[in-house]
Amino acid sequence: ARWDGLTGHITFNKTNGLRKDFDLDIISLKEEGTEKAAGEVSKHLYKVWKK
């Protein structure tokens, strides 16, 4: 199943019903604001940015 949701395209695995093909951002709350610790994490990609 696939459709557009508030967070973008939503896709579920036909076999087990789990959501697949999505990005997960890991953030932390700092005194200065939020900080994105990681996103699109793979073997070779790691991003860090501050808001």
Residues 6+ apart with CB under 8 A from 48: 35, 36, 37, 38
Tokens of 8: 């973008």
Q: What is the pLDDT of residue 37?
A: 73
**How confident is the model over 26-46, as pLDDT tens digits?**
788 888 888 877 655 445 455
Residues 2-27: tens digit of each pLDDT: 777 777 788 888 888 888 777 777 78
Instruction: Estimate to the nearest angstrom the gap between the alpha carbon of 17 and the chain centroid.
Output: 18
At 14 the pLDDT is: 85
**pTM, two decimal places:** 0.38
